[in-house]
């Protein structure tokens, strides 16, 4: 069963929907509020930069091939969007819908915006532990529609092509770079909640 019947609030088990809803809202608002006090000054740090040619490759018009690859690289049966359609549906009906998908993706490229209906998402809570009792023992995931995923995939593939030129050699987070250069490295497991579960 996937229902959350209750959670622990201030040390007490609570099943009152309004209380649970309020605590969940507060927890995730606190986690996902952007802050501007980063506590790190980078004024004297020199960063690598892209050439004009590489920069142009990032902002040029999306090609049919890029959009097609973004669709076909997605797992077909996972995470349908709000409309219930997954990538198997899109792939099986590509000849019918490809022109509409391309129009939507090109609209994003020209305006930098995604229509509100295409940005809508479900928030699902995935347990971090077996039999969770507290709200912070759940990780939120956002189930977004296919168009959003296609656009983000096209953009990430473009960035992947230029990352080797701007990632410092000492930055070993990108294991493919280590393998490519035949180097040895040390992997360090960090607290994922602190690293990824907040906007900051």
pLDDT tens for each residue of 128-171: 888 888 888 888 777 778 888 899 999 999 998 888 888 776 66
Q: What is the pLDDT of residue 151?
A: 92
The yes-or-no verdict on residue 182 having pLDDT over 60 is yes
H or E segment to which residue 38 belongs? none
Highest mean pLDDT among 94-103, 179-188, 189-198: 94-103
Report the pLDDT value the prediction gives residue 74, as an integer from 0 to 100: 86
* pLDDT band of 63, cuts 50, 70, 90: very high
Question: What mean pLDDT, rounded, does the chain reach?
Answer: 81
* pLDDT value of position 84: 74
Q: Which residues pair with 126 in a beta bridge?
A: 139
What is the structure's pLDDT at 30?
77
Please determine, for residue 103, whether its predicted confidence score (pLDDT) is greater than 90. Answer: yes
Report whether pLDDT(106) > 90: yes
What is the structure's pLDDT at 97? 92
Each residue of 111-121: pLDDT tens digit? 998 877 777 77
In the chain, count of helices (H) and strands (E)? 9, 4
Domain spans of the chain, in order of start? 7-196
Would you say how long the chain is, in residues? 200
* CA 149 from centroid of its chain's CA atoms: 9
123 pLDDT exceeds 80? Answer: no
**155 burial via Cβ count (<10 Å: 0-12, 13-18, 19+):** middle
Rounded to the nearest 10 degrees, what angle do helices 52-59 and 146-166 cross at?
Answer: 170
CA angle 109, 110, 114 (to 5 degrees): 65
Can you give the pLDDT at residue 37? 66
Contact status, residue 135 vs residue 27, Cβ threshold 8 Å:
yes
Give percent above pLDDT 90 in the chain: 24
Q: What percent of the chain has pLDDT over 70?
A: 81
**pLDDT at residue number 61:** 93
């Amino acid at each position: 069963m996937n229902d959350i019947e209750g959670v622990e609030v201030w040390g007490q088990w609570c099943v009152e929907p309004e209380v649970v809803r309020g605590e969940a809202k507060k927890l995730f608002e606190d986690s996902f509020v952007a802050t501007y006090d980063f506590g790190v000054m980078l004024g004297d740090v020199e960063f690598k930069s892209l050439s004009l040619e590489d920069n142009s490759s990032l902002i040029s018009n999306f090609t049919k091939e890029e959009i097609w690859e973004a669709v076909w690289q997605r797992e077909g049966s996972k995470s349908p969007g709000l409309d219930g359609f997954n990538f198997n549906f899109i792939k099986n009906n590509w000849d019918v819908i490809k022109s509409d998908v391309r129009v939507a993706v090109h609209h994003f490229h020209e305006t930098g915006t995604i229509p509100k209906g295409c940005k809508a998402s479900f928030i699902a809570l995935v347990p971090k532990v077996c039999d969770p009792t507290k709200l912070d023992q759940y990780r939120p995931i956002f189930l977004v529609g296919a168009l959003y995923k296609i656009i983000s995939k096209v953009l990430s593939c473009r960035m992947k092509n230029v990352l080797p030129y701007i990632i410092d050699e000492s930055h070993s987070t990108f294991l493919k770079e280590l393998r490519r250069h035949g180097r040895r490295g040390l992997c360090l497991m960090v607290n994922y909640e602190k690293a990824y579960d907040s906007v900051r």
